[in-house]
Amino acid sequence: MSATPSRQSKPGRGPVIAVDGPAASGKGTIAAALAVHFGLPHMDTGLLYRSVALTLWRWGGDPGNPFEAVRACSEMGISPEDPELRSEAVSRIASAISAYPVVRAALLDRQREFAALPGGAVLDGRDIGTVIAPGADLKLFVTAAPEVRARRRLKELEGRGMNATLAEVLADIKARDARDVERSAAPLDQAGDAIVLDTSAMDREAAIAEAIRIAGEKLGRP
């Protein structure tokens, strides 16, 4: 794997790094590590959708109703540390409501404002390099085989004391992939100028190291 030629970020501002990829590919871990390494603020855009989902769930709202989902966008006041954000129930709701164009539109501005911070930023999600920050200085598309991602998710669930089988988690991963790719609003798609990082055969440390290497070469900041 080789990165494209080095390109410095525009004068007067820090670099913007877009990290996209499917569920459980490792993109969040990689984005957080890049932010620490380069001293940049980090936004996990998936947490925005989870916050909306958790708000809707606590309201007793209907995830199948786009109107109720978009109302939750303006009312959410969820702490990023709330443990329920990572629950499977909230994950399923977030995956469903993220397909609504009205929900994506409601959250668009705050994501773009974060990407426009003068000091630079790292954002991870499904549509960062294609919709939120198409002019990002570096676009990474982090992926892994579905079976690998399912094993990672199962380990995460078991670590939280939840019972599940590999077959169940794999089916859920494939269903989420289908929703992300097939939705009409900002589907999961690899930007044409993104660098693919396949983490299937990498452990956490190796994936982070490779992402930092690519970023350093691309941004001219070893």
Collapse the DSSP code of 182 into the 3-class scheme (helix H, G, I; strand E, B; otherwise coil) and give the result: helix
pLDDT at residue 75, rounded to an integer: 86
Collapse the DSSP code of 42 into the 3-class scheme (helix H, G, I; strand E, B; otherwise coil) and give the result: strand
pLDDT at residue 12, rounded to an integer: 60
Query: Does residue 40 sit within a domain?
Result: yes
The CATH number of residue 99's host domain is 3.40.50.300
Query: Does residue 114 sit within a domain?
Result: yes
pLDDT at residue 77, rounded to an integer: 84
Q: Domain of residue 109: give its range.
A: 16-219
| The total number of residues written for the chain in this structure | 222
Are the C-beta atoms of 33 and 42 separated by less than 8 Å?
Answer: no
Closest CA to 89 of 37, 149, 138, 160: 160
Would you call 92 exposed, middle or buried from its count of C-beta atoms within 10 A (0-12, 13-18, 19+)? Answer: middle
What is the rounded average pLDDT of the residues 108-117? 95
pLDDT at residue 11, rounded to an integer: 55
The string of pLDDT tens digits covering residues 17-40 is 999 999 899 999 999 999 999 999
Q: Among the ranges 28-42, 83-97, 174-188, which has the highest mean pLDDT value?
A: 28-42
Tokens of 162: 């939840």
Query: Does residue 72 sit within a domain?
Result: yes
Rounded to 10 degrees, the C-alpha dihedral 121/127/132/134 comes to 90
> How many domains would you assign to the chain?
1
Query: Does residue 172 sit within a domain?
Result: yes
Query: Does residue 3 sit within a domain?
Result: no
pLDDT at residue 18, rounded to an integer: 98
Are the C-beta atoms of 199 and 26 separated by less than 8 Å?
Answer: yes
Query: Does residue 195 sit within a domain?
Result: yes
